[in-house]
Amino acid sequence: MHNRDKKSIIKRLVENPIFCSGDYYQDLLLYLFDCHQKDRLPTEIDFAINVFGKKKDFDPAEDTVVRVYFYRLRKKLAEYYNGPGKHDPVRITIPKGHHCIEFYTQPSFVVWFKKNINIKKILPYIPALLLTFAVIYLALENNPAAQHNSAGRSVFWKEFLENERKTLIVIGELYTFYLNKPDIGHEWLVRDDQINSYEELQAFLANYHVNPADIYLPGWDIVPKSAAINILGIYDVLWTVKEDLEIKITSQVTLEDIREKNIIYVGNFHNLKHLEKYLPGDRFRQVTRYKPYQKHPERYLRVKTQQLDTTYQFTYYYDQKSGSNEDYALVTKVPGPTSNVFLFIVSFLPLGRLETIKMLTDEELLPQIMKEIHGINREPADYFEILIQVRGYEEQGFETAVKHFFPLNETP
């Protein structure tokens, strides 16, 4: 296709009222075309600086303006080609996950059909056509080579993409406090796994006769360093459709959030706070056993149902010499109180959450976990509990296994 033809296509787009109705769309199209002409693949930062007037220190992780506008531009292109541009033989597209435009020519039959066929005349034949398409679709679905594994369409994420409710990502923060020792002139910022709330801290002070004057709260809690990686993994699946994603820590979640939004919680078992009551808690129990002269307690996870009673021992603190580690992640999807949806990705250590989210959001890894689930439970389930065992080195997972899958009914 000649360059002058491409220019005329872009000119027709930027002059159309659909792309004149807001800021930046015309500039964004023109910059995309300029990069296309120069055979250059721009980055998010390039768009931020050259289209949106951002400074050179622009951080895509903190400012999503480029991704939001790409999402909206794709919607405007769909609106244009479904309306005034429906007969255009040559179109442009912006492939998802890319910052470039591509030109493609519609098959001549499609153009001829749109111009010459009166849909009212073929209405009587539509049922037969739909039946034919259904047969073809089922044939493709049953052909593994023809299937396209999309994380966004999987049972884990589909409701968050399909319904109109806002999605809130909740990070379980770690409760901390300062221990001040005036007699030695030193203080420590303490993170104790057995103290996860103000009430538990007060109980600790009373039980062990610690002077309350030696303890004070910092006014903030710690967000695990793995939270950023977890959020990016989830964001990768959802951002192309959900431009209104929100992020909060557990203590910031309100009753309105619980009633009005879909929620994805990522954190430790003991940092759920008031979300805990929405997580079914009768199958999985943590057991801690202390032994004399042992530095760290032994940790067990008990799985108990009417059909089984199984206990798993695991290393809660990784082996300092080898760096080896083991964790268990629980993935639970349940209906919320007002026809919304809650997804919990909960583990004891960062290892379990990091590896599980990687598997649930990666199109190449997701089929592996789905295969293991289908080996346990062949019936489809919209709501479920899944226990995943993760072994690795420090926070890098090397081996995962689905240990249990329990379908749930629709009552939380």
pLDDT digits (tens, 9 = 90+) for 354-392: 999 988 988 888 888 888 888 887 666 889 999 999 988
Distance, C-alpha 359 to centroid of its chain = 11
Asked if residue 239 has pLDDT above 80, the reply is no
The closest of 252, 243, 390 to 324, measured between CA atoms, is: 390
Torsion sign (Cα): 404, 405, 406, 411: positive
Q: What is the pLDDT of residues 114-134, one digit of tens each?
A: 555 554 555 555 555 555 555
275 with 253: CB under 8 angstroms? Answer: yes
What pLDDT sits at residue 169? 92
What pLDDT sits at residue 149? 33
The closest of 182, 257, 251 to 215, measured between CA atoms, is: 182
What pLDDT sits at residue 112? 46
Question: Rounded CA gap, 215 and 188, in Å?
Answer: 10
Tokens of 341: 């949806």
Place of tokens 């442009």: 92
Residue 161's pLDDT band, with cuts at 50, 70 and 90, is confident
Question: Rounded CA gap, 158 and 264, in Å?
Answer: 13
**Torsions phi, psi for 317 (to 5 deg):** -115, 125
The closest of 30, 156, 21, 165 to 80, measured between CA atoms, is: 21
Q: What is the pLDDT of residues 189-211, one digit of tens each?
A: 888 877 888 888 888 888 888 88
The closest of 31, 20, 16 to 70, measured between CA atoms, is: 31
Residue 83's pLDDT band, with cuts at 50, 70 and 90, is confident
Strands in 45-129 per DSSP E: 90-93, 102-105
- What rounded mean pLDDT belongs to the chain? 80
Length of the chain: 412
- DSSP strand pairing (167-171 vs 102-105): unpaired
What pLDDT sits at residue 331? 94
Q: What is the pLDDT of residues 300-334, one digit of tens each?
A: 888 988 888 998 887 666 555 555 678 899 999 99
Answer with the residue of higher pLDDT: 183 or 399.
399
% of the chain exceeding 70 in pLDDT: 81
The closest of 404, 400, 359, 356 to 377, measured between CA atoms, is: 404
Question: Rounded CA gap, 356 and 267, in Å?
Answer: 12
Answer with the residue of higher pLDDT: 279 or 108.
279
What pLDDT sits at residue 351? 87
Q: What does pTM read for this prediction?
A: 0.60
% of the chain exceeding 90 in pLDDT: 16
Question: Rounded CA gap, 353 and 229, in Å?
Answer: 10
Answer with the residue of higher pLDDT: 104 or 110.
104
Asked if residue 69 has pLDDT above 90, the reply is no
* 273: alpha, beta or left? (left if phi > 0; alpha if psi -120 to 50): left
The closest of 8, 13, 49 to 29, measured between CA atoms, is: 13
Q: Which residues pair with 302 in a beta bridge?
A: 285, 311
Buried b (16+ CB within 10 A) or exposed e, 15-44: ebeebeeeebbbbbbebbbebbeeeeebeb
CA distances from 276 to 154, 162, 258 (A): 25, 25, 12
Element (H, E) at 264: strand 262-268
What pLDDT sits at residue 170? 93
